[in-house]
Structure 1
Amino acid sequence: MAAFNLTPFDPSTFILMGIPGLEAAHVWISIPFSMFYIIGLLGNFMVLFVVGKEQTLHKPMYLLLCMLALTDISMSTSVIPKALCIFWFNLKGITVGGCFTQMFFLHTVIVVQSAVLVTMSFDRYVAICNPLRYATILTNTRIAKLGLLSLIRAVLLILPMPLLLSRLPFCANHIIPHMYCEHIAVAKMSCGDTTVTRMYGLVTAFVVIVLDLMFIALSYGLIIRDLLKISSKEVHQKALNTCTSHICVMLMSYTPCLFSYLTQRFGQGIAPDVQIILASLYFLVPPMLNPIIYGVKTKELCDKVGKYTCRR
């Protein structure tokens, strides 16, 4: 039996367990999951629809909101439908190719979203510190090019992850104690040496999270520096209102992302079900709240949304 368990083989499917230890509560857990997911889809599709229909919203700021909405939709859709299939129908199987595809798509979208948040912080810097040059520095074409560069960066950084994992041997254990194909969760199943893929994941996380946060901090540092030169409280209040929505979205995005990353690698003392539930908030809460935050804080967008939702 021991010899069988250590024999490498190429399984046709992996088994996603959902939330181990809470199998009996899967149906109940699915209720808030599906509600948050539907609300998030409706809110983000509404942003895309309104910005697409209204010519007056075809501006860099709203193009960035559309990019954020697309990443929110893609990120939650890459995880939640499969998770609901596990919760409702006990469909736990996923092909090896499907697992690696989900991993690649999910992590690529996360990296793209991080780049969008960096670009939004630069947008806020230009809007506050160089308002007269805003239209020349940030054009729609330039935003589109930055979006394309963000996608290329994400693909180049993430593509080696599934490629490295696909070269590893997987033994008799092909059960993933998770509800989606998270990189480290899949790597732990291998009976081969996972040092390279683990180190690559660590370096990628550093490049994306740490460097992107440094650029965001730099943008806000420059904003604060310029505001300190101005004594007007009215200007300070206006700048704060301009940045509030982005700061809220940034905190909601990076906080659960960092928690999920750290607990997967260093959270041995945290129960697996707690890790998975808290990690899943990253795919549920920001996509649901982001359109609400920007809808409330951005008057022009709020007015246009009201134009369509309040129509008789």
Structure 2
Amino acid sequence: MSDSSSEENEDTTWVFYRDRPEWKDIEPLSQDDGVDVPVVEIAYSEKFKDVYDYFRAVVQQNEQSERALQLTEDAVKLNAANYTVWQYRRNILKSLNKDLWEEMKFAEKMINQNPKNYQVWHHRKVLVEELNDASKELYLTEIMLAQDAKNYHAWQHRQWAIKTYKLFDDELNYVDELLIQDIRNNSAWNQRYFVINNTTGFTKEVIEKETDYTLKKIEIAKENESAWNYLRGILLHDERGLSKNTEVSKFCENLYTSGCHSPFLIAMIVDMCDENVSKKHNDPNFSLERALNLCDDLATKYDIIRKKYWEYFANVLKEKAEGKVSP
């Protein structure tokens, strides 16, 4: 977050570019909104108009200088989402052969002030690529994720750095820590899948290990949709399918018979039934009749918000059983 007190102090000492002697040679260029007057005109501050009027003039002249670099810093502080300013700043950095490690510090500062701004993260990514060094990226993203464990931009940057620079080694331990802190952290579950999918892959041994890991997490929080979704993702790689994985099917049956009516548990059993109907297996534990009864329970008791979906799915199951639709 930005420091409002420091911003106020900065504004008290701010000198408009139009009043700076070293900028007298530049004619500011106002924003051109065309011939039609906007219905609702944006109320830009005087400071904003001053900075961007000079920025447009500098871009028009393609000035690559120290003062232009400082101008871009003022511009992105006023609007960190302005792609043109960031790109022009990168052009100047390259033209002046500036120390990119110093720019990395600036990028980190801007990320701290604008943690969910795409352009600041993109700027950081370009710098890492230029330096060919991602050694600081895991630490940076950990700091940002400690503030918001579901920051999409931080996760995207972290995955890019890990995959590009092969930084997988300790990532599963980091994911474990996040899931201990918040077992419902869907981003952490997604990261676990990302790591395994890009390293060992889902071998038979990995499937067994991850299945056991996930079932233990589900026992802790049976209503945790993220864990159930992860379990499904694992079993997509299991050639046995859903219902023929005895560890999973027994786990689900034991939960259900013990009185657990989590919609995610029941939906998993419905999927097992669907698999049997589609493959024409005659397993009485996962029959069409049971699937239809469970769909009705979901629609009327346990997942009412998706009532229409479960009614639709029940009809699809009937049509599959009758051979009217392909499995």
> Under a length normalisation based on structure 1, what TM-score does the superposition of the two structures give?
0.24
Going by fraction, where is helix more abundant, 1 or 2? Answer: 1
Larger relative contact order (Cα-Cα within 8 Å, sequence gap ≥ 6): 1
How high is the TM-score relative to the length of structure 2?
Answer: 0.23
